[in-house]
């Protein structure tokens, strides 16, 4: 976060946070700081692709094994070959995975390091993070206030 941004947006740093003019300036500033719409769409698309248990199993398998054929992916992930094929098609279109053909077998691998890092980060973190809470009130009385 930039210094200027902080000075504009910090709710505690300024008196008159609720003032209309200040609010407009803040919103204007933040809106301009957003990534371009095209990038937002691309980010969302990749995350959406990674947001399905079956596809996560496929990707985790590729992360572990490097290169795997469709048939094996289906067996490992516990999905039909058709499902896997459909999933791979979507991920191919967004370069989340890439292919190599060897005879009649097609091997899939992760598309790039970026995907590899996202996956690795998420899986590692999931390994030692608390379970999901029930849908709760925005302010949970049992929650500790940050210091």
14-53 binders of DNA (CB under 7 A) = 18, 48, 51-52
Phi–psi pair at 98, nearest 5 degrees: -130, 165
Shortest approach of DNA to residue 39 CB, angstroms?
A: 17
Query: For 11-104, where are the E strands, in sequence order?
Result: 68-69, 97-102
Cα(91)–Cα(3) distance, integer angstroms? 39
Shortest approach of DNA to residue 96 CB, angstroms?
A: 13
Shortest approach of a copy of itself to residue 86 CB, angstroms?
A: 11
Classify each residue of 41-65 as buried b or exposed e, where b means 16 or more C-beta atoms within 10 Å of its C-beta: eeeeebeebbeeebbbbbbbbbbee
Hey, is 4 helix, strand or coil? helix
Interface characters, 89-108, with DNA (x: CB under 7 A): xx--------x-x-xxxx--
Q: Which does 81 bind (CB under 5 to 8 A by kind): DNA, a copy of itself, none?
A: DNA
Q: Residues 93 to 122: which contact a copy of itself by CB under 8 A?
A: 93-95, 98-102, 105-107, 114, 117-119, 121-122
Strand pairing of 68-69 and 105-110?
antiparallel
Q: Which does 34 bind (CB under 5 to 8 A by kind): DNA, a copy of itself, none?
A: a copy of itself
Taking the CA atoms of the chain, what radius of gyration do you get in angstroms? 22
For residues 135 and 142, which CB has a smaller minimum distance to a copy of itself in the complex?
Answer: 135
Residues in the chain: 147
Binding residues vs DNA (CB under 7 A): 18, 48, 51-52, 54-55, 69-71, 79-90, 99, 101, 103-106, 135-138
């Amino acid at each position: 976060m930039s210094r200027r941004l902080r000075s504009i947006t910090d709710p505690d740093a300024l008196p008159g946070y609720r003032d209309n003019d200040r609010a407009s300036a803040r919103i204007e500033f933040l809106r301009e700081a957003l990534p371009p719409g095209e990038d937002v769409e691309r980010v969302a698309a990749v995350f959406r692709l990674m947001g399905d248990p079956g596809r996560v199993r496929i990707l985790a398998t590729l992360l572990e094994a490097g290169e795997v054929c469709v048939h094996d992916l289906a067996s490992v992930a516990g999905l039909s070959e058709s499902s896997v094929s459909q999933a791979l098609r979507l991920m191919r279109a967004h370069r989340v995975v890439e292919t190599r053909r060897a005879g009649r077998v097609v091997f899939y691998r992760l598309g790039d390091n970026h995907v590899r890092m996202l996956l690795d980060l998420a899986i590692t973190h999931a390994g030692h993070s608390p379970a999901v809470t029930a849908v709760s009130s925005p302010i949970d009385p049992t929650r500790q206030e940050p210091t």
